Amino acid sequence: MQVDGSYDAVESLTRTSENAWCSNKNDCRDDYVIQKIHDRIAKVTNIPPENSEDFQILKYEVGQFYRPHHDYIHHQKDRQCGPRILTFFLYLSDVEQGGATNFVKLKLPVKPKLGRALLWPSVLNSDPMEKDPRTDHEAQDVIQGTKFGANAWIHMFDYMAPQERGCT
């Protein structure tokens, strides 16, 4: 860790995309359009916007990927916000070739398409504090074009208030 609290870049063998956060820290989450998107997600899921993390904006260039992973974070089930229960992924561009979101165990690739949204559970319906192993997924290699997307992770309980207190 650096003196200013930042960390050196670490090269990952499982994730090569670039990302940025749309948060209160940079006044992005307060933007009118961003609030409308959070409100629309809340309407679709019937879960208040406060349960959603800040958007993670993603960029995948040719050859970039995110190998199989899961969005569930085990230790969060004991935190005030509870676990991530849903992922709402927004496709912000078309991709000429590659870049699909592939649900590995389900053998279900979803091709990126501008304006498309993908919603999936991170937890079991029968036990919403436990990970649903069926939704392991990956961002497949972009072969041609650039993929832009945004993650909206939705928690069991209010995420924003605990985040402001550093308890997420």
Q: pLDDT tens digits, residue range 78-126?
A: 999 999 999 999 999 999 999 999 999 999 999 999 999 999 999 999 9
Lowest-confidence region among 44-48, 70-74, 162-166: 162-166
pLDDT at 168: 83
pTM over cut 0.85:
yes
Domain boundaries, the chain: 18-157
Superfamily per CATH, domain 18-157: q2cbj1_9rhob like domain (2.60.120.620)
Residues 6 or more apart in contact with residue 103 via CB below 8 angstroms: 109, 110, 120, 134, 135, 136, 137
Q: What are phi and psi of 101, to 5 degrees?
A: -90, 115
